């Protein structure tokens, strides 16, 4: 399939383009849906897409097609070329990347996922659903099992040419518990992997357990205390911070961290790495969207800002090297984010708290531009005098992302891989909880 992207680049140059880039991807997807306590749908699809960028000096035209015949590619190239002719220059454009050696990565493709049949995916969904429904108080409003195997090809006029393949499975289940007229908090359990190694029974059990343990929730009075954030909530926090570490936000002046390289921006207990070469990482690959090698980048080291994530476009604007984080033409995203572990156990965290909350789910907004946090603590439990007492009715907490990350009292020694992130639990001091 490399000939498709090579052909697109060659035709672009023949038309008169000064530069060209082509990205072709194909995917085989099996998806099983769960709805109202039943497996409700199964789908199988094969998708393909060719994306082309044509450059005439600093004018850029984009096109996309699913027709990869000679005529289809030629038409897409012509469309991109005409668009480039018709628009104004992008004065920030400084050229496409040049080829560099790709790294060797492990654990990103498994034949078992590539060759799995839809009926086997249905069995996984049924096992997950059956386990959750063992408790008569639990209902399952929704869920999904998704298995994807794909290939990616990239080429540009500077000589980049690469191909890669990968597989992934994502399983998610939502659960709700009812008992004697009381309805608990909505619960979610999910896992993702590059291999067919997820345990549907364990995911179903986790969803049901979360749903049931929220029964018996009590109202609480407002207080200022300590939060213990479960893994999914830490993911919310770190994902918001990663937006402020995005080179696109930085060069546009929207990140509050734009001038703070070398400064301490968060607690010195925290280090964060972006690693596009992580073994079996959900976002691991040998190259990014534009064919720049994936790499390992230290973003924050003991609280000190070391780097942002970049594609070629943002890196050239800011006069630095690309970190291999292109996620589309001109767009940037982190790959696998790894947050350093601490030296606390969960039990030690709880014992150290006079008044606080253990929060398993957060619903709300975190604005990276100014750090504003506003939302509801869900699946939350009151902690008093070193003990988890009982679930609490939905309550609010507010604050600032950067203050939260500077008020970290402790970090769990255990980490958990969730999707493209590896995170510990965190203990945050001085948080206002509104009952």
Domain ranges of the chain: 2-213, 218-435
pLDDT tens-digit profile of 23-52? 999 999 999 999 999 999 999 999 999 999
Classify residue 195 by its DSSP letter. S
pLDDT tens-digit profile of 198-239? 999 999 999 999 999 999 999 999 999 999 999 999 999 999
pLDDT at 409: 96
Beta partners for 229? Answer: 359, 426
Cβ proximity of 28 and 150 under 8 Å: yes
> Residue 285's pLDDT band (boundaries 50, 70, 90)?
very high
> Residue 412's pLDDT band (boundaries 50, 70, 90)?
very high
- 3-class secondary-structure state, position 138: strand
13 CB-contact burial (10 Å; exposed 0-12 / middle 13-18 / buried 19+): middle
pLDDT at 435: 84
pLDDT at 397: 87
pLDDT at 220: 94
Give just the sign of the alpha carbon dihedral 187, 191, 196, 198.
negative
Domain formed by 2-213, architecture: 2-Layer Sandwich (3.30)
Rg (CA), the chain: 24
pLDDT tens-digit profile of 321-370? 999 999 999 999 999 999 999 999 999 999 999 999 999 999 999 999 99
pLDDT at 309: 98
pLDDT at 149: 98
pLDDT of 398 strictly over 90:
no
pLDDT at 119: 97
Instruction: Tell me the CA distances in angstroms from 39 to 31, 32, 36, 44, 131, one per residue in order.
Output: 11, 7, 8, 15, 13
pTM, rounded to two decimals: 0.95
pLDDT at 297: 98
pLDDT tens-digit profile of 52-109? 999 999 999 999 999 999 999 999 999 999 999 999 999 999 999 999 999 999 999 9
The alpha carbon of 224 is separated from its chain's Cα centroid by a whole number of angstroms, namely 31
DSSP string, 164-191: EEEEEEEEEEEEEEEETTEE---EEEEE
pLDDT at 394: 85
For residues 274-304, one letter each, b for 16 or more C-beta atoms within 10 angstroms of the residue's C-beta and e for the rest, the string is: bbbbbebbbbbbbbbbbbbbbbbbebbbebb
pLDDT at 1: 83
Task: Give the mean model confidence (pLDDT) for residues 235-256.
Answer: 98
- Measured CA to CA, the distance from residue 362 to residue 161 in angstroms comes to 42
pLDDT tens-digit profile of 132-157? 999 999 999 999 999 999 999 999 99
Task: Give the mean model confidence (pLDDT) for residues 413-423.
Answer: 97
């Amino acid at each position: 399939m490399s000939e498709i992207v090579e052909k697109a680049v060659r035709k672009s140059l023949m038309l008169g383009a000064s530069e060209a880039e082509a990205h072709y991807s194909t995917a085989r997807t099996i998806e099983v849906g769960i709805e109202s306590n039943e497996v409700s749908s199964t789908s199988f699809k094969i998708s393909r897409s060719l994306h082309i960028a044509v450059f005439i000096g600093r004018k850029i035209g984009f096109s996309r097609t699913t027709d990869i015949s000679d005529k289809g590619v030629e038409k897409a190239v012509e469309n991109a070329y005409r668009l480039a002719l018709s628009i104004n220059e992008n004065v920030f454009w400084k050229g496409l990347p040049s080829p560099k050696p790709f790294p060797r990565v492990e654990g990103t493709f498994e034949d078992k996922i590539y060759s799995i049949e839809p009926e086997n995916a249905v069995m996984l969904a049924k096992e997950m659903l059956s386990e959750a429904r063992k408790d008569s108080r639990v209902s399952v409003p929704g869920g999904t099992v998704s298995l994807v195997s794909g290939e990616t090809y990239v080429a540009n006029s500077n000589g980049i040419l690469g191909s890669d393949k990968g597989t992934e499975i994502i399983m998610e289940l939502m659960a709700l518990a009812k008992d004697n007229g009381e309805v608990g908090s909505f619960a979610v359990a999910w896992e993702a992997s590059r291999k067919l190694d997820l345990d549907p029974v364990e995911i179903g059990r986790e969803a049901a357990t979360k749903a049931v343990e929220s029964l018996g929730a009590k109202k609480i009075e407002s207080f200022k205390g300590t939060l213990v954030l479960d893994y999914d909530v830490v993911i919310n926090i770190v994902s918001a911070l990663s937006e402020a570490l995005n080179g696109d936000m930085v060069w546009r002046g929207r990140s509050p961290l734009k001038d703070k390289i070398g400064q301490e921006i968060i607690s010195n207990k925290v280090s964060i790495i972006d690693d596009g070469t992580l073994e079996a990482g959900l976002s691991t690959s040998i190259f990014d969207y534009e064919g720049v090698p994936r790499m390992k980048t230290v973003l924050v080291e003991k609280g000190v800002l070391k780097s942002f994530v970049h594609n070629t476009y943002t890196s050239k604007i800011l006069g630095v090297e690309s970190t291999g984080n292109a996620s589309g033409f001109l767009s940037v995203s982190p790959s696998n984010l790894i947050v350093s572990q601490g030296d606390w156990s969960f039990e030690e965290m709880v014992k150290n708290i006079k008044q606080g909350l253990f929060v398993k789910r957060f619903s709300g907004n975190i604005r990276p531009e100014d750090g504003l946090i506003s939302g509801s603590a869900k699946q939350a439990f009151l902690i008093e005098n070193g003990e988890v007492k009982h679930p609490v009715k939905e309550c609010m907490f507010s604050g600032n992302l950067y203050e939260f990350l500077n008020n970290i009292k402790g970090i769990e020694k255990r980490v958990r891989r969730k999707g493209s992130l590896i995170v510990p639990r965190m203990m945050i001091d001085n948080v206002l909880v509104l009952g």
